[in-house]
């Protein structure tokens, strides 16, 4: 595991095992890799139970996949000029956190109850290692 995500799993040695905390840690790990452009990141938790010692060991098998950079960006439902405010730029490594922040900052109040991720659509070019982003602020977003 990369050192930047030492706090992804809040469950510490000696604490009671919690599937909920492990799931939250895996989500944190996925998000951390998403900030570095690894949109196809997968993590597979492997648990080993030691009944005699009453312990569980967790090992996470990580496949970060390819790192993606931004090829293009567009907005659906709002003015394209808003992209000038975005810290994401074509040529930069994709950052999931910045994409979410952009949606949160620009979503009309009528869309406040929707997940930012439901408004971010990525079209990947695996061969080139690039992705096109569509920010969808329409009332009925594309699926």
pLDDT in tens, 57-112: 888 889 999 999 999 999 999 888 999 888 899 999 999 999 999 998 888 776 66
Would you state the structure tokens that stand for residue 139, as one six-digit string?
């009332």
In the 8-state DSSP scheme, what is residue 134? E
- Which residues are paired to 93 by β-bridges? 69
Residue 127 has pLDDT above 90, yes or no: yes
Residue 24 has pLDDT above 60, yes or no: yes
Residue 3 has pLDDT above 80, yes or no: no
Are residues 135 and 76 in contact, defined by beta-carbon separation less than 8 angstroms? yes
Instruction: Say whether pTM exceeds 0.95.
Output: no
Are residues 107 and 115 in contact, defined by beta-carbon separation less than 8 angstroms? no
| Chain centroid offset of residue 56 CA | 27
Would you state the structure tokens that stand for residue 72, as one six-digit string?
């293009």
The span from the CA of 96 to the CA of 36, in Å, is: 8
| pLDDT > 70 fraction of the chain, expressed in percent and rounded | 90
| Chain centroid offset of residue 22 CA | 17
Mean of the per-residue pLDDT values for the chain? 87
52 Rama sector, left if φ>0, alpha if ψ -120 to 50, beta otherwise: alpha
Would you state the structure tokens that stand for residue 132, as one six-digit string?
């096109």
Distances (CA, A) of 128 to 34, 67, 69, 71, 131: 18, 10, 9, 10, 9
With bands split at pLDDT 50, 70 and 90, how would you rate the model's confidence at 2? very low
Q: Return the pLDDT at 126.
A: 95
Q: Return the pLDDT at 1.
A: 40
């Amino acid at each position: 595991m990369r050192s930047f995500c030492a706090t992804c799993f809040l469950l510490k040695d000696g604490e009671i095992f919690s599937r909920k905390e492990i799931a939250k840690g895996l989500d944190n790990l996925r998000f951390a890799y998403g900030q570095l452009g690894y949109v196809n990141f997968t993590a597979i938790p492997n648990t080993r139970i030691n009944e005699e010692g009453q312990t569980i060991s967790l090992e996470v098998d990580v496949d970060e996949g390819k790192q993606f950079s931004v090829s293009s960006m567009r907005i659906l439902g709002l003015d394209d000029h808003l992209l000038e405010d975005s810290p994401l730029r074509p040529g930069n490594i994709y950052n999931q956190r910045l994409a979410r922040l952009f949606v949160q900052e620009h979503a009309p109040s009528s869309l406040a109850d929707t997940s930012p991720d439901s408004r971010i659509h990525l079209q990947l070019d695996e061969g080139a290692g690039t992705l096109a982003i569509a920010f969808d602020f329409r009332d009925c977003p594309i699926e």
